[in-house]
Structure 1
Amino acid sequence: MNVHEYQAKELLKRYQVPTQEGVAVGDAAAAVAAYQQIASQTGSKFAVVKAQIHAGGRGKGRMVEVPEQSGVSVVKSAEDVERVAKNILGNTLVTIQTGAAGKKVNKILVAQDMYYDGPSDRKEFYLSILLDRTKKQNVIMYSTEGGMDIEEVAHNTPEKIFKEWVAPNMALQGYQARNIAFNLGLSGEAFKNMVKFVTNLYNAYIGLDCSMLEINPLFKSADDKIIAVDCKMDLDDNAMLRHADLKEMRDKAEEDPTEVEAGEYNLNYVKLDGNVGCMVNGAGLAMATMDMIKLAGGEPANFLDVGGTANAQTVEAGFRIIMKDPNVKAILINIFGGIVRCDRVASGVIEAYKNLGNISIPIIVRLQGTNAEVAKELIENSGLKVQSAILLSEAAQLVQDAIAGK
């Protein structure tokens, strides 16, 4: 589960991680009030306004309706704040990570300006924590070259990216935190503050069950404070049972509506760009099914795993979700009857077909396993325009014919 920058910073504060102070708001008037509050606290007329979306590259992004407006702006008056807020709120921001469609901005963060001390005294770093699956350990990746161009640094000068691995059953060791501060070229008070920052940040990563935690930029101020100016945080969905309070941070408006709907029926769904809809039980079989579709000359339009307890309700929900994609020219249902009986799935397909009605695209059902022959007979005797198969090769041929319009 992704969270917004302002939410991530609030979570980091629980672990004594210093962050850039700010106020999240949803309208221009509230933005002006937040700016005035920050100005009175800091004694500076400068502040920064940031669009809150689940994507990076906001500083280089552009608003569709106001192309001269980026997703991040420095302001120095209440008038500036009002103008920028109106340019951003309710409009669509396109960044390198959103794709051409962009994302609608519903909130902005009005935050203190961290660059008051001038370019000669400030320093930006990069630091992230995630799981290195090849080593089966958490890895802290960091660099002296933080900021908006970190992707170019990783591509052009990978030697500037350092890594520190931590075993998942151990805490970050003191010598590792000191090694990070040393490689970042720090000394004195900044060195001590970085050691404390990294230690607390790693504790937050573990304590919140993050799957990824990125601080960019990680800022060193003129007085050697170490502060998280920006934060991107992904929380492990599988750990939400331990964090009931964090579920409320989910912003469904930032997610694909069909994926949200699928989640309500406990369906694992990911939209793709192809022309053949897939409904399968089991992730491994789903991957094999997508390969089969490509070999048959088609392209998978989605990944949809109905799990091991498919019934009429989940099958019908799967149908509805798949058919919302106008690019789908055929639907392939590939079920292995182990835990779930094939005849039960067949009955669900027939019931769903009747309930939905007016299905004009070809539907191929391949059932193998418990009661597969009974299921095939049920479908063939249903009188519906559903084609059945037992062998994978049969299903592949039927998909190929459907794509060809036969």
Structure 2
Amino acid sequence: MSLALVEKFSGVLSSAARSLVIHEYQAKGLLRDHGVKTLPGEVCWTPEEVVTVCEDLHANQGVNRFVVKSQIHAGGRGIGTFTDGFQGGVHLCDTPMEAKELAAHMINNTLVTKQTPPEGRLVRRVFIEGAADIERELYFSILMDRNSRGPMVVASVCGGVDIESVAHETPEMIITMPIDIDEGMTIEQAGELAKQLGFDRQPQQATEQILALYETFRSTDATQVEINPLAELKDGSAASLDAKLNFDANAEFRQEEVFAMRDMAEENWREIEATKFGLNYIGLDGNVGCLVNGAGLAMATLDVLKLNGAEPANFMDTAGAITIDKVCQALEIIMSDENVEVLLINVFGGIVSCKILAEGILKFNETKGLNIPLVVRMEGTHVEAGKALLEASPIEYYKADNLKEACEKAAQLSKK
């Protein structure tokens, strides 16, 4: 679910920082394990594998039409464009050879969608599924809601389309249902959702599918289960034709099988590198690099930057006590982003020592060099010692006494 829909229902949280995303074919496997109806399919790494899979689906499952789906961690695949001009990352076809040709266009080609970085993502594999006999396409998701402090179902009879547009243009078409996190989804709630979504011919089967989707959400520590489309097939049954699942990274210790599905090639290398040093980093699209201690202060810093018209390049939380080397590692990760044109350091020291922070800045400048405008706001533990070190150094920087002043200055510098 994108930010646009989250903003429509402001309490609802989409995939948050520190979450795991998996591929569609992996998500479908988890759904099937929990009793969710999906279509028969298999992942393929080469065009040659595609022919074998299609022939097996035809012989063993009676499949006569096939869907070839690019597997990347981004939405909008169907209307995406490959960098060589080939259109669409999802295609319907009638024969194994046609599926092979489509896969040959996709595999080892780069797909650009509205949710990828501008340079796109390399498609390393495709998912081959049997085509569905669809009567209607709907939307169904379960995610966490801050206001109700528990899971929230967001659903609509308008599925298979840009759900964010539905939320903005026809909000009355969006169904929301909070779920008690202790009691879980009841059969009555699932039945009511099935009714509101118009599953009149097989209401019990649809109810069971909704309960199975909730059980997947609950038992895997998911932060989001999004099915778009959730289809009513010609026989009146419900089936999940697409799946996007995100998981709480804090639950990795009890979800080893899920986290074994992690695809490092799909993730921002800076985020991977940060975790090695106990740093929390999320790459963003702006030009103001941010180094902050504490997730709350980091989020507030990003908010105030945005309020001043600046675009943050990252979320970087030093996560607890810091060392000189940890400061250097954080700065190296931030500065490796070529979009960063201004660096904002905002530290309110409790556990963190401002003196150690300053020593880390000095060491980084000696070894790597700080060659962009720098704004520093420091308060708290050993702040006078930290400020004295920076004052005595050759580093040119802008001093700020508070968060507002620091963000205003960074924003001003970012627009030059």
Query: What TM-score comes out, normalization by structure 1 length?
Result: 0.88
Q: Which residue of 2 aligns with 1:163?
A: 176
Q: Which residue of 2 aligns with 1:6?
A: 25
Change (3 A) 1:97 1:289: closer
- Among residues 350, 354, 361, which one is paired with 2:372 in the alignment? 361
Note if contact 1:59-1:148 (Cα within 8 Å) is conserved in structure 2. no
The higher radius of gyration belongs to 1
Describe the superposition over 1:146-190 as per-residue Cα deviations: whole angstroms up to 9, x where unpaired: 2235444333333222222211111211111111222222335x1
CA RMSD of aligned residues (A): 2.7
Q: Which residue of 1 aligns with 2:115?
A: 97
Q: Which residue of 2 aligns with 1:21?
A: 40
Q: Which residue of 1 aligns with 2:317?
A: 305
Change (3 A) 1:232 1:398: closer
Change (3 A) 1:377 1:186: closer
Distance, in Å, in 1 between the alignment partners of 2:411 and 2:191 is 60
Q: Which residue of 2 aligns with 1:106?
A: 124
1:198 aligns with 2:216: no
Describe the superposition over 1:305-338 as per-residue Cα deviations: whole angstroms up to 9, x where unpaired: 1122111222111111121223333323222221
Structure 1 unaligned blocks of 5 or more: none
Note if contact 1:217-1:228 (Cα within 8 Å) is conserved in structure 2. yes
Distance, in Å, in 2 between the alignment partners of 1:99 and 1:274 is 12
1:349 aligns with 2:399: no
Note if contact 1:342-1:375 (Cα within 8 Å) is conserved in structure 2. yes
Which amino acid is the alignment partner of residue 189 of structure 2? Answer: Q
SS of the aligned residue for 2:217 comes to helix
Structure 2 unaligned blocks of 5 or more: 1-19
Note if contact 1:123-1:219 (Cα within 8 Å) is conserved in structure 2. yes
Change (3 A) 1:159 1:273: closer
Change (3 A) 1:287 1:126: closer
Q: Which residue of 2 aligns with 1:391?
A: 401
- Among residues 269, 285, 293, which one is paired with 1:281 in the alignment? 293
User: 1:198 deviation in Å?
Assistant: 0.8
Distance, in Å, in 2 between the alignment partners of 1:21 and 1:167 is 33
- Among residues 336, 347, 351, which one is paired with 1:335 in the alignment? 347
Distance, in Å, in 2 between the alignment partners of 1:266 and 1:96 is 31
1:252 aligns with 2:264: yes
Distance, in Å, in 1 between the alignment partners of 2:300 and 2:152 is 31
- Among residues 371, 375, 386, which one is paired with 2:382 in the alignment? 371
Distance, in Å, in 2 between the alignment partners of 1:388 and 1:143 is 50
Change (3 A) 1:83 1:331: same
Corresponding residue pairs, total:
396
Note if contact 1:368-1:390 (Cα within 8 Å) is conserved in structure 2. no
Describe the superposition over 1:243-295 as per-residue Cα deviations: whole angstroms up to 9, x where unpaired: 12222211222222222222322222233344432211123333444466568
Distance, in Å, in 1 between the alignment partners of 2:123 and 2:411 is 42
Q: Which residue of 2 aligns with 1:226?
A: 238
Distance, in Å, in 1 between the alignment partners of 2:407 and 2:36 is 54
Change (3 A) 1:390 1:144: closer
Q: Which residue of 2 aligns with 1:81?
A: 99
**In terms of mean alpha carbon deviation, does 268-277 or 101-110 score higher?**
268-277
Q: Which residue of 1 aligns with 2:8?
A: none
User: 1:28 deviation in Å?
Assistant: 0.7
Distance, in Å, in 2 between the alignment partners of 1:294 and 1:214 is 29
Which amino acid is the alignment partner of residue 226 of structure 2? Answer: E
User: 1:197 deviation in Å?
Assistant: 0.8
SS of the aligned residue for 2:346 comes to strand
SS of the aligned residue for 1:249 comes to coil
Change (3 A) 1:164 1:282: same
Change (3 A) 1:279 1:49: same
Distance, in Å, in 2 between the alignment partners of 1:72 and 1:19 is 17
Note if contact 1:4-1:53 (Cα within 8 Å) is conserved in structure 2. yes
**In terms of mean alpha carbon deviation, does 155-164 or 48-57 score higher?**
155-164
User: 1:11 deviation in Å?
Assistant: 0.9
- Among residues 59, 63, 80, which one is paired with 1:40 in the alignment? 59
**In terms of mean alpha carbon deviation, does 145-154 or 164-173 score higher?**
145-154
| 1:108-257 to 2 correspondences below 5 Å | 108-115=126-133, 122-188=135-201, 190-257=202-269
